[in-house]
Structure 1
Amino acid sequence: MTTEASVAWTSDGSIYFPNFADRMRESHDSLEAFLDYGGVLCQWGRPNTDTGLVLAYSTITDSDSTLQKQQLSGSGWAMTKSGSGEERWSPVDLEGYLGLTPVYIFESGSWRYASDVGDLPKYAN
């Protein structure tokens, strides 16, 4: 349940959920790996809508990157590679994602996540 005390309003009228990372850690969600690697994990939303955004970023070692990719592959995610060498992982079956296409992006030494690939260009760097 979201309470007024558990959100912070941003200047553009969206809501930032400061306890989101704690909730993901408590539920042992796979996104907690970003926190384990010293990164960030956050969620924003729009008031009175179902519109939300989850973003994550951290550095990652080659061995941890291999481990995360194996876990994604075993969970039904597939990889496409860009010309620049960036690897994008998205679920093969998007049912249950409410019209969104979540994506993990692996680059040399870092990885990031967005709950919808359509939001990624806004937060790419």
Structure 2
Amino acid sequence: MEKEQIVSWVQQGPQPALLNAAEQLGREINEKKLTTSQIRQVFTRLKSIEAKGYATQRTDFMMLKPYLAYAAGRQDRVEGLRLFKDKITIGIDAVFEGGSPENEPKRFVNFCKLFEAVLAYHRAFGGK
């Protein structure tokens, strides 16, 4: 999944053509031995932010970037985790840099959908 595809998904929402890119990323991180538990740690934090409301949890969402960097640095031998961090970081940046601040909550929702799609495809390809 290329940077432009991630940014497009976050800023404009899911599109049929982008589902193939999410599928490809899910397959690739599975092949590079990223485990479901490594993704789920981030996913749990993301779902907590979503449940509490983005408006009140914006800072926690922003802090996902350093959390991902720490996790990838701690387990630097896991190539899939580095790839996952790189792609998800692009999405986080796209939420904040996507234009007008009043549309930021919508971009956050789109980001969540992207994350869920990649997680689902990772699992579909046998992610453990």
Q: TM-score range by the shorter chain?
A: under 0.3
More strand by share: 1
Structure showing greater Rg: 1
TM-score computed with the length of structure 1 as normaliser:
0.25
RCO greater where, 1 or 2, for CA within 8 Å and sep 6 or more?
2
TM-score computed with the length of structure 2 as normaliser:
0.25
